[in-house]
Chain A
Amino acid sequence: MDLSAINPILLVAALMSAATPILLAATGELVVERAGVLNLGVEGMMIIGAICGFAIAVETNSPVFGFLAAAAGGALLSLLFAFLTQITLANQVASGLALTLFGLGLSALLGQSYVGIKPPRMGDINFGPLADIPVVGPILFSHDPVLYLGIALVALVWGILKFSRIGLVLRAVGENHDAAHALGYKVVRIRTMAIMFGGALAGLGGAYISLIRVPQWTEGMTAGVGWIALALVVFASWKPWRVLLGAYLFGGITQLQLNLQGAGVAIPVEYLAMSPYVITIIVLVILSADKSAAPGSLGRTFHASH
């Protein structure tokens, strides 16, 4: 056992990067669920974002265009979900599952000619002298722009939901769509926009895996991250900052347990392997002791005639 082999600064920097895909996808899904829609297609939208981002980044040789394409791809796929659930009033759970299966299949098809290619790198933001500050520099000022975007989006979503009129309307639609409708809000339109926002963020999260974290394209490479993001939204009681905490906790413990294994710590590996799941759930369940409830209309189908 040699704990000195673990560099805590590198570890924290790595956990922020590991948490970003989950954070992006979960933030998007949070907005969708606050609008009263349960979209189980996060995994499918992420993998579509992963391949769209990868393909466009390779073709244009620009990771920025890649991320834009990933957001567009995810949003486009989510439109299919919006059509099924908001226009044809299909069951949300079934439509979401179908979206995941469809996304996995479509991405495999799209990605066939992109296996084994190296994508262009997105460089880290240059903070100049700030990056040279010991400890703080490598942790806070040595990342790619998307990572900061993820954190900024959490703050933005929190601010909008809490303080703005748009946020209030969105929450009203999610809590009681009949009342919102009676007040004259366009429930279907608002929900569709929320679903597209969620799709775009899931797409970004997927592209973060294929362009930055791994970086390569492999079929099925999101490997269940979308489901973790979905669970995180529930355990975070639909609150943005708790999503951030949960994502960092999960990403952090995942990184820590890999490092502890490498350092040969005498904790049985099984416990280490399950620790990210267990600890994240315990912490978030304790936090949600304030009885924050799910949005009132979550998962319910809305039609103006009802």
Chain B
Amino acid sequence: MKLTTLFASAAVALGLATTAMAEDKTKVGFVFVGPIGDGGWTYEHNKGREAVEAEFGDKVETVYVENVAEGPDAERVMTQMALDGADLIFTTSFGYMDATNNVAAKFPKVKFEHATGYKRLHPNVSTYSARFYEGRAIQGHIAGNMTKSNIIGYIASFPIPEVIRGINSAYIHAAKVNPDVEFKIIWVYTWFDPAKEADAAKALIEQGADVVLQHTDSTAPQAAAQEAGNVVTFGQASDMGQYAPFPRVSSIIDDWAPYYIARTRAVMDGTWESMDTWDGIGPGMVGIGEISDAVPAEVKEEALAMKAALADGSYHAFTGPLNKQDGSAWLAEGETADDGTLAGMNFYVEGITGEIPQ
């Protein structure tokens, strides 16, 4: 009898203990658009998730779902995460914007963080993004110097402001050092499809491009460039260092870890509030991967100088004089673009041919 009581009370105590522990833990959810092994965008977000686990150890529990299609499926995944007790959910693709806000309305106590979006319809939604266009400026500078055919290929994903900013920034800085440069842009309408990305890269290379920039998540274009032999590429979202020193001569690296740690801590402390974060090279959210020796020394030096100027704010990637594609004036001499225009950018700058799909 006594023994049974002992067991029973032990069981109850144990049960209480585990419940208490479960309540102590902050649960952080991540919704990913691609697989964590894509070697690019989702890979870096997952590194941020691992950093959160390393920082807080037993005090957090993280969960993630990969390959979540943008649209209704995303809403289902987020709802399930919230129902499973997540305190904070990071949704890491532009196309999750409406889904994030819809689900946030239903779960006012759960905090939502949407990457690269601009809608914060509820007090429990924050948005965050990185100023990738600063990295694109450096890419454009190197690309413009290195192209011999004067044709730069650009694999674009979806016609959204983030992608258009990248194209404009790269073009402005390529054209600055090489006025004859021409951009060939292919829209693939996917973030992740290695075969299609490789096909797009090959099509661009066949049409004479000897530099290929990508705004998609896989390393397939790097492999295609390596195959072609004399084509320059840049790592996108992650270092993609396995293709260094050539074809990958540098890269834009997204470093989400500090932000994810800070926001998780804010939830733990109860100091979390809705805000918009847009950090660049300066605060370290955008990193520039090592510029390899395939780049001429003086070009590398200029690129590093530009990186330093972008970091301390003495140079803005969109500095006038700049015209829009149709020739109308946009920025006067010395004027810099404001964040509002950049956030909603839906036009090409002068010199880029082709139209933005609407």
Contacts and interface: CB of A to CB of B under 8 A. Distances in A.
B193 interface: yes
A63 to B, nearest CB: 14
B36 A258 contact: no
A5 B208 contact: yes
Interface of A is mostly: helix
Contacts of B184: 262-264
Nearest to B243: A116
B39 A261 contact: no
B37 A223 contact: no
Contacts of B195: 18, 21, 209, 213-214, 221-223, 225
A18 B223 CA distance: 16
Most buried by A among B184, B206, B219: B206
Interface in B21-55: 34-39
B17 interface: no
A244 B34 CA distance: 31
A296 interface: no
A137 interface: no
B206 A14 contact: yes
A261 B185 contact: yes
A241 B10 CA distance: 71
A218 B207 contact: no
Nearest to A254: B199
A99 interface: no
B186 A261 contact: yes
A220 B220 contact: no
Nearest to A263: B207
Contact of B220 (A216, A254, A263, A264): A216
Contacts of A255: 199, 203
Contact of B192 (A6, A111, A223, A254): A223
Contacts of B355: 266, 268-269
A268 B357 contact: yes
A5 B220 CA distance: 23
Contacts of A88: none
Nearest to B198: A214
Contacts of B39: 115-116, 218
B48 to A, nearest CB: 18
A218 B203 contact: no
Contact of A14 (B37, B203, B223, B242): B203
Contacts of B218: 218, 221
A209 B194 CA distance: 9
Contact of B223 (A10, A111, A216): A216
A112 interface: yes
A108 B35 contact: yes
Interface in A13-57: 14, 18, 21
Contact of A220 (B67, B153, B196): B67
Nearest to B203: A258
Contact of B354 (A209, A223, A264, A273): A264
Nearest to B200: A258
A7 interface: yes
Contacts of A225: 195
B36 A219 contact: yes
B219 A259 contact: no
Contacts of A220: 34-35, 38, 67, 192
A222 B242 CA distance: 21
Interface residues of A, number: 42
Contacts of B223: 118, 214-216
A254 B203 CA distance: 11
A17 B224 CA distance: 14
A270 interface: yes
Contacts of B58: none
Nearest to A119: B223
A10 B187 contact: no
A214 B192 contact: no
B206 A218 contact: no
Nearest to A112: B37
A118 B203 contact: no
A215 B227 contact: yes
Given A218-B39, A220-B34, A221-B218, A269 B357 contact: yes
B82 to A, nearest CB: 23
A194 B187 CA distance: 39
Interface string B53-88: 000000000000001000000000000000000000
B353 interface: yes
A218 B357 contact: no
B277 interface: no
A6 B37 contact: no
Given A6-B207, A263-B207, A218 B38 contact: yes
Interface in A248-299: 254-255, 258-259, 261-264, 266, 268-270, 273
Contacts of A115: 37, 39
A223 B38 CA distance: 12
Interface in A172-231: 209, 213-216, 218-225
B35 A258 contact: no
Interface in A82-125: 104, 108, 111-112, 115-118
Interface in A107-160: 108, 111-112, 115-118
B202 interface: yes
A14 B202 contact: yes
B204 interface: yes
8 tightest A-B CB contacts, nearest first: A116-B242, A219-B35, A219-B37, A269-B357, A223-B193, A258-B203, A221-B194, A5-B207
Interface of A: 5-7, 10-11, 14, 18, 21, 104, 108, 111-112, 115-118, 209, 213-216, 218-225, 254-255, 258-259, 261-264, 266, 268-270, 273
10 contacts: A115-B37, A219-B34, A219-B37, A220-B67, A258-B199, A261-B186, A262-B185, A268-B357, A269-B159, A273-B187
Given A219-B38, A259-B203, 10 more contacts: A21-B195, A118-B226, A214-B223, A214-B224, A255-B199, A269-B355, A269-B357, A273-B187, A273-B188, A273-B189
